Amino acid sequence: MSSSANRYKYLAPDPDSSYRQLRINGRRILARTLYSLTIGDEGRMSPEEVARDYDLPLEAVQEAIAYCESKPPEIVEDFAMDEARAAARGTKDLRSKQQGHPAAD
């Protein structure tokens, strides 16, 4: 787990999840999920739009963005775990096309 987990107001680990990256505290929303909505050229949402759509304080979305932009190793590790699971099921190519690699963001 990232030692930085304690410095966040809205983000926390989920002890019931196999994912190590932080989530919105009390919700099962990964910080990476919110961040991914704000990047890219097509369909990009503003942090304000994400906050409104997910019924979250704007500060929670901003915190999720800052966390993801800090490139915590647990996000890369979670992605690698997902890729390994997908490869084991034979769905790696489909997942890569749908989600992209977090390091490329």
Rounded to two decimals, the pTM is 0.74
**What pLDDT shows up at residue 97?**
53
Exposure pattern of 85-105 as b/e (b: 16+ CB <10 Å)? ebeeeeeeeebeeeeeebeee
d(CA 34, CA 28): 11
Q: What is the pLDDT of residue 102?
A: 54
Euclidean distance between the first and the last CA atom of the chain, given in angstroms as a whole number: 22
The pLDDT of residue 2: 45
Q: What is the pLDDT along the chain (105 residues), one digit of tens a residue?
A: 444 556 899 999 988 888 889 999 999 899 999 999 999 777 799 999 999 999 999 999 999 999 999 999 998 888 888 888 888 887 655 545 555 555 444
The residue ranges of DSSP E strands in 6-97, in sequence order, are 11-12, 23-24
CB count in 10 Å sphere of residue 41: 5
Question: What is the residue extent of each domain of the chain?
Answer: 3-104
Cβ atoms 82, 60 nearer than 8 A: no
Q: Over the stretch 30-52, which tens digit does the pLDDT of each residue have?
A: 999 999 999 977 779 999 999 99
